[in-house]
Structure 1
Amino acid sequence: MKINDFKTFVVGNPPPHFGGRYWIFLKLTTDSGIVGFGEAYSVPFHPHVVEHMIGDVCERYVIGSDPFKIERLWRRVYGSGFTLRPDISIMGILSAIEMACWDIIGKELNKPIYELLGGQVHEKLRAYSYLYPEKQDKLCVYSDAETAAKRAAEYVKMGFTAVKFDPVGPYSAFDPRQLSLETLDHTEKFVKAVREAVGSKCDLLIGTHGQMTTSSAIRLAKRLEKFDPLWFEEPVPPENAAEMARVARQTSIPIATGERLATKYEFARLLAEQAASILQFALGRVGGILEAKKIAGMAEAHYAQIAPHLYCGPIECAANIQIDTCSPNFLIQESIQTCGGFHAEILKEPIRWENGYIIPPNKPGLGVELNEEVAVSNPYTGKELHLEMLDIPVN
């Protein structure tokens, strides 16, 4: 079997854009007609530039290759241009390619991917969501504590047993920063309001984005410990594992991180430094499905757990589900609300979400199929990137 064709889709995610402004999908086709899908997460260039980058890599390394030879293809792409390091641009592209190859392998063998990576461990997967605004919200769910508390209570009624939110405020290219007393007070009151709204029925996930210096993160953690969050996410930027480890040593709140990291090498550093006990790799960036399985195995040896990141499209979500299902140390899966809306529309059959849990599919490969007609009819025409930081310091 050989891969003989590829096609990319740059899809505009309609308002309210939950999951990002756009998604980049890859379709690989073999000489026997089997099709596999993958997704690249947040490569930091305009998506139509990324489309050309994917084409270049596919033409150099993928066309004519055997999709079963994952390790060989992975090393060739990882080392392209004399890199051999966790560059997130090439890793996003490689992740989409690798994901699509696994989809092909599963379809050829008529097995879900999780059955090829150790077999099913979990019958259902606990899920959480960010608190997203509704049209009827009069105030901002991201900054108004009462609105956030109200939404959190509604999520609990839907079946969620965990919700995530960032109470610290905007993130900037000039972070990390020392939070003001006013911001510390606001954040503490914000978390208190949400905890009182959900009681002990729901875990709170503090979803910060590396805004704080080490000392500031420790100050905030001391205030939040009494609300017993399940985790404190990326309290400092991910570039310095030693400083994140300093935060971890100073708080009882588990540290979670990983969405901006790639490959087993960066996650090995996290574990060696004891910087985090919950790993949040993004399947469309980390290096793909097998790379994530290797990281999950390393984490298991350190009694760390995995909680894959998701702020993109449903193909990456489907890949996350495959890893979650076969990993004994799976903790919880990020979901975009209940996997509905455009996330469901762009698939031929939606991902199953039931009362706070995702149900793993038993279909071969990723278990989902991209609706290409919907993808083509929703092209991205904007100029902004998937995610953008403020370009001025936050005072």
Structure 2
Amino acid sequence: MKLSDIKVYTVATPAPHFGGRYWIFVKLTTACGIDGIGEVYSPPFHPSVVEKMIEDVFERNVKGNAPSEIERMYRNVYSTGYSQRPDPTLMSIFSGIETACWDIQGKALNRPVYDLLGGKVRDRLRSYTYLYPKPEDKTNVYADSDLAAERAAEYVAQGFTGIKFDPAGPYTAFDGRFINLEDMDRAETFCRKIREAVGSKADLLFGTHGQMTPASAIRLAQRLEKYEPLWFEEPTPPDMPEEMALVARGTKIPVSTGERLVSKYEFSRVLQNRAASILQFAVGRVGGIWEAKKIAGMAETFYAQIAPHLYCGPVEEAANIHLCLSTPNFLIQESIQDMRSFHGDVLKTPIKWEEGYLYAHDAPGLGIELNEDVITANPYTDNDLHLEFHPYDFDF
């Protein structure tokens, strides 16, 4: 069984673009006609460029290999261009291809992917959601703490036991920075009002997108400790875990990080420096399911837990589900609301979410199939990237 063909789909998401402006899916096919799907997460290039990159990586390093030869393909791709170091674009591309290989293997063996990863250690996954706006909102849920508290209570009524929000201010190319008192006041107000709204029925997950210097992060964290957040997410930029470790030592709130990190090597630095106790890798960027499984194993030896990141489409979520069902040190899984709406439309059968929990379909492979009619009807034609931030300095 050899890999013979690849097809790339870039699908535009409808406004307000929950999960990003577009999703990049890949479909691999073997010479014997078995296909598998994967998802490439947020490379920093326009998808028209990324599509060509994906095809190039496939032709140079993947085509002709068996889908089971993941270690061989990983090392060849990782070493492409004589680099042999973590490269977010290259590893995002390989992540999508690698996930599709697991889907093919599961279909060929007539087993769900979680069985190939050691088998299930649980039957369902606790999930959390970000606070999202509604069309009828008269104010901005990201700026209005009262509306945020109301929305959090709505999600808890649906069954969610984790609510994430990030009111610390806009992120910029000039992070980390020292956030001002007004931003700190707003952050504390959000925590107070959401905690009052949900009581002890849900954990508060405080995000920051790596905005702060260690000193600023510690200053803010100490103001938020009394609201007992489950985590303080990515308090400093991702490139120096040694500095994030100062935050972890300076607050009682557990620190989480990882959505922008690539490979076991970068996560090893996080663990060795005790920079975070909760790892949030993105399976569609970190190197794929097998690399994520290795990271989870390393984390287990440090008594750290995993809570995979999700801000993309449902194929990466399916990969997350199979990984986490087979991983002992799992904590909680990000879900974009209940994974319905457009996340459900692009699949023939939506991911199963019920009363705060995610479930795997027990069909072979990832258990999902793309709805190509929906995908081809929604091509991406704009010029923006999947995620953007303010590229300029401003008055801090």
Q: Work out whether the TM-score is over 0.5.
A: yes
**Aligned equivalents of 1:314 and 1:360: distance in 2?**
12
Q: SS at the partner of 2:126?
A: strand
Q: SS at the partner of 1:201?
A: coil
Cross-structure match for 1:94:
94
State the 1:373 CA deviation. Answer: 1.6
Render the CA deviation track for 1:272-300: whole Å, top value 9, x for unaligned: 00000000000000000000000000001
2:61 maps to 1:61: yes
2:363 maps to 1:363: yes
**Which AA in structure 2 matches 1:374?**
V
Cross-structure match for 1:129:
129
Render the CA deviation track for 1:24-74: whole Å, top value 9, x for unaligned: 010000011100101100000001100000011111112211111111111
**Does structure 2 retain, via aligned residues, the 8 Å contact 1:126–1:356?**
yes
State the 1:135 CA deviation. Answer: 1.4
**Does structure 2 retain, via aligned residues, the 8 Å contact 1:143–1:169?**
no
**Aligned equivalents of 1:27 and 1:185: distance in 2?**
47
State the 1:359 CA deviation. Answer: 1.2
Render the CA deviation track for 1:355-379: whole Å, top value 9, x for unaligned: 0000122111111111112111110
| Paired positions, count | 395
**Aligned equivalents of 2:182 and 2:244: distance in 1?**
24
State the 1:10 CA deviation. Answer: 0.7
Cross-structure match for 1:205:
205
Q: SS at the partner of 1:150?
A: helix
After the TM superposition, which residues 214-233 of structure 1 pair with which residues of structure 2 at under 5 Å, given as runs?
214-233=214-233
State the 1:246 CA deviation. Answer: 0.2
Render the CA deviation track for 1:259-281: whole Å, top value 9, x for unaligned: 00010000000000000000000
Q: SS at the partner of 1:232?
A: strand
Render the CA deviation track for 1:330-370: whole Å, top value 9, x for unaligned: 10000000001010000010000000000122111111111
State the 1:393 CA deviation. Answer: 2.3
**Does structure 2 retain, via aligned residues, the 8 Å contact 1:114–1:323?**
yes
**Which AA in structure 2 matches 1:223?**
R
**Which AA in structure 2 matches 1:61?**
N
**Aligned equivalents of 1:186 and 1:32: distance in 2?**
58
Q: SS at the partner of 1:285?
A: helix
**Which AA in structure 2 matches 1:280?**
Q
**Which AA in structure 2 matches 1:320?**
N
After the TM superposition, which residues 175-186 of structure 1 pair with which residues of structure 2 at under 5 Å, given as runs?
175-186=175-186
**Aligned equivalents of 2:185 and 2:313: distance in 1?**
35
2:359 maps to 1:377: no
Bigger Cα displacement from structure 2, 367-376 vs 271-280: 367-376
Render the CA deviation track for 1:69-105: whole Å, top value 9, x for unaligned: 1111111111111111110010000101110111100
Render the CA deviation track for 1:294-339: whole Å, top value 9, x for unaligned: 0000001100000000000000000000111000001000000000
2:265 maps to 1:265: yes
**Does structure 2 retain, via aligned residues, the 8 Å contact 1:125–1:360?**
no
**Aligned equivalents of 1:178 and 1:272: distance in 2?**
26
Unmatched segments (≥5 aa) in structure 1: none
**Does structure 2 retain, via aligned residues, the 8 Å contact 1:127–1:332?**
yes
Q: SS at the partner of 2:199?
A: helix
**Aligned equivalents of 1:126 and 1:111: distance in 2?**
23
**Does structure 2 retain, via aligned residues, the 8 Å contact 1:167–1:191?**
no
2:112 maps to 1:142: no
**Does structure 2 retain, via aligned residues, the 8 Å contact 1:175–1:393?**
no
2:333 maps to 1:339: no
**Does structure 1 retain, via aligned residues, the 8 Å contact 2:38–2:97?**
yes
TM-score between the two structures when normalised by the length of structure 2: 0.99
**Does structure 2 retain, via aligned residues, the 8 Å contact 1:203–1:229?**
yes
**Aligned equivalents of 2:258 and 2:391: distance in 1?**
23
**Aligned equivalents of 1:85 and 1:291: distance in 2?**
14
Cross-structure match for 2:245:
245
**Aligned equivalents of 2:179 and 2:290: distance in 1?**
39
**Aligned equivalents of 1:70 and 1:221: distance in 2?**
41
**Does structure 2 retain, via aligned residues, the 8 Å contact 1:176–1:210?**
yes
**Aligned equivalents of 2:172 and 2:118: distance in 1?**
41
Bigger Cα displacement from structure 2, 368-377 vs 97-106: 368-377
**Aligned equivalents of 2:129 and 2:386: distance in 1?**
19
**Aligned equivalents of 2:233 and 2:36: distance in 1?**
33
**Aligned equivalents of 1:199 and 1:393: distance in 2?**
38
Q: SS at the partner of 1:11?
A: strand
2:247 maps to 1:254: no
Render the CA deviation track for 1:192-236: whole Å, top value 9, x for unaligned: 011101101010000110111110000000000000000000000
**Does structure 1 retain, via aligned residues, the 8 Å contact 2:167–2:183?**
no
Q: SS at the partner of 2:104?
A: helix
Q: SS at the partner of 1:8?
A: strand
**Does structure 1 retain, via aligned residues, the 8 Å contact 2:256–2:276?**
yes
TM-score between the two structures when normalised by the length of structure 1: 0.99
What stretches of structure 1 move > 3 A for 4+ residues in a row? Answer: none
2:80 maps to 1:77: no
After the TM superposition, which residues 154-173 of structure 1 pair with which residues of structure 2 at under 5 Å, given as runs?
154-173=154-173
**Does structure 2 retain, via aligned residues, the 8 Å contact 1:128–1:160?**
yes
**Aligned equivalents of 1:312 and 1:9: distance in 2?**
14
**Aligned equivalents of 1:20 and 1:182: distance in 2?**
28
Cross-structure match for 2:289:
289
State the 1:155 CA deviation. Answer: 0.5
